[in-house]
Amino acid sequence: MGVGKSLPSLTYYLPMRTPALIALFTGATCIALSPIWVRVSDVGPTASAFWRVALAVPLLWTLFAFNSRDRKILDKRQHLPLLLAGIAFAGDLVFWHWSIQYTSVANSTLLANLASIFVTLAAWVLWRQRPSGLFLAGLAAALLGVALLVRASLGSTPDALLGDGLGIITAMFYAWYLLSVKGLRDAGAGTLQLMAVTTTITALILLPIAIASGEVFLPGGVNGWLVLLGLAWISHAAGQGLIAYALAHLPAGFSSVGLLFQPVMAALFAWVLLGEQLVALQVAGGAVVLAGIYLARRASSQ
């Protein structure tokens, strides 16, 4: 998704589409809280990825059961794409949760948002969809921003560079997930149906991995469970659900720009709640990455 050929002013959308706008920014804020939940959780990164989806499964299936408009019979040909989407989402969560443990919340979130660029690159490689000059400019800007973020990491902790690398791998898995979901949506699958099914598949994939990892699997008390419920219900179910609603009611271009609000809010939450200070090089790198993503998304909609 990207910004269209022209981007009408916000005043155009506010009177007629206020609920969708509120859903967009609220959903982005909910997802921005997810690295905070992961960082303060008393279970391991892989275990928190499992609980993130496992605790969301009952809620998503309940919402799906009460939404008759979203019920569609899945064709057998969609079973493999659903499995692949679940695998991609499992990889996305595991690598991102580990990235959050090693590097700053700002870096891990910004790098994970490179997914939209990897989507266009995959379309170029797999389907020969040649990108425009504007996309290439966005790609160049994003790579420059990544270089600045990595340079900032080199000056912090020894593990920060590893966390940055895991953030980039996260973006690759999330791009795979987005491409899988797009194919399923084009085939007629509903939003809630996709969320419920892929979340269930992801939970089933992550359960044995989390147990075999040797990490702390169960939280130590009520507070630990509340953190995981916040991750599952607020960041995953509510955040993804609100954004799905907003995307259905707002132009794709405006929505994609609005979603850049998420990494900004994640950095703000990390500063306020975790005391993560941003150095000047990180701020510059983050701004350049966001500019690159903006240009790439704009190019993809033209």
pLDDT tens digit string along 106-118? Answer: 888 888 888 878 8
Contacts of residue 271, Cβ cutoff 8 Å, sequence gap at least 6 = 277, 278
Residue 228 is predicted with a pLDDT of 96
Answer whether 267's CB lies under 8 Å from 286's CB: yes
Residue 115 is predicted with a pLDDT of 80
Instruction: Report the alpha-carbon distance of residue 288 to residue 290 in Å, rounded.
Output: 5
Task: Grade residue 260 by pLDDT with cuts at 50, 70 and 90.
Answer: confident
Instruction: Report the alpha-carbon distance of residue 165 to residue 54 in Å, rounded.
Output: 27
- What would the mean pLDDT of 69-81 be, rounded to a whole number? 72
Residue 7 is predicted with a pLDDT of 38
Higher per-residue confidence, 134 vs 204: 204
Amino acid symbol at 152: A
Q: 93-119 as b/e, with b when 16 or more CB fall inside 10 Å?
A: bbbbbbbbbbbbbbbbbbbbbbbbbbb
Q: 121-132 as b/e, with b when 16 or more CB fall inside 10 Å?
A: bbbeeeeeeebe
Amino acid symbol at 245: Y
Is the confidence at residue 86, as pLDDT, over 80?
yes
Residue 136 is predicted with a pLDDT of 81
Answer whether 267's CB lies under 8 Å from 55's CB: no
The pTM is what?
0.83
Residue 285 is predicted with a pLDDT of 83
Is the confidence at residue 216, as pLDDT, over 90?
yes
CA–CA–CA angle 54, 58, 61 (5° rounding): 120
Among 89-93, 94-98, 150-154, 297-301, which stretch is predicted with the lowest mean pLDDT? Answer: 297-301
Among 21-25, 39-43, 79-83, 156-160, which stretch is predicted with the lowest mean pLDDT? Answer: 156-160
Residue 116 is predicted with a pLDDT of 75
Residue 71 is predicted with a pLDDT of 62
Task: Grade residue 78 by pLDDT with cuts at 50, 70 and 90.
Answer: confident
How many angstroms separate the first and last alpha carbons of the chain?
10
Higher per-residue confidence, 22 vs 6: 22
Residue-averaged pLDDT of the chain: 82
Is the confidence at residue 264, as pLDDT, over 90?
no
Is the confidence at residue 16, as pLDDT, over 80?
no
Task: Grade residue 27 by pLDDT with cuts at 50, 70 and 90.
Answer: confident
